[in-house]
Amino acid sequence: MLEELDKLIRDYVRPDSFPLAVKLWKKGDPVPDRIKSPTELGFDSAICQTFGISRRYGWSMLLKKEEISCPLALEAFGFKPIDDFYKNGNLTAGMYTKDNSAGKKTESAVPKLKFGRYDGLIVAPLSRADFALDVVVVYCNPAQLMRLVSAALYNEGGRLSSSFASRIDCADEIISTVSEKRCKVVLPCYGDRVFGGTQDSEMAFSIPKEKIKEIIEGLKGTQKGGVRYPIPQFLRFSAKYPPNYEKLRSILAEQV
pLDDT band at 36 (very low <50, low <70, confident <90, very high): very high
Instruction: Output the pLDDT for position 93.
Output: 97
Decide if pLDDT at 256 tops 90.
no
Count of the separate structural domains present in the chain: 1
Instruction: Output the pLDDT for position 98.
Output: 98
CA distance 105 to 137: 27
Provide the mean pLDDT of the chain.
97
Instruction: Tell whether 255 is covered by a domain.
Output: no
Instruction: Tell whether 244 is covered by a domain.
Output: no
Q: What is the mean pLDDT of residues 134-157?
A: 98
User: Residue 245, class by beta-carbon neighbours within 10 Å (0-12 exposed, 13-18 middle, 19+ buried)?
Assistant: exposed
Q: pLDDT tens digit string along 201-251? A: 999 999 999 999 999 999 999 999 999 999 999 999 999 999 999 999 999
Instruction: Tell whether 238 is covered by a domain.
Output: no
Looking at the whole model, is its pTM more than 0.75?
Answer: yes
Q: Give alpha helix (H) positions in the chain.
A: 2-8, 38-41, 47-57, 71-76, 84-87, 100-108, 142-152, 169-170, 177-180, 190-195, 212-225, 243-254
CA distance 37 to 66: 11
Q: What is the mean pLDDT of residues 139-168?
A: 97
Instruction: Tell whether 239 is covered by a domain.
Output: no
Q: What is the mean pLDDT of residues 158-185?
A: 96
- Report whether the peptide linkage leading into residue 230 is cis, meaning its omega lies within 30 degrees of zero: yes
Instruction: Tell whether 236 is covered by a domain.
Output: no
Instruction: Tell whether 158 is covered by a domain.
Output: yes
Instruction: Tell whether 235 is covered by a domain.
Output: no
Range of the structural domain that residue 136 is part of? 2-229
Instruction: Tell whether 98 is covered by a domain.
Output: yes
Q: pLDDT tens digit string along 46-58? A: 999 999 999 999 9
Decide if pLDDT at 168 tops 90.
yes
Q: What is the mean pLDDT of residues 159-181?
A: 96
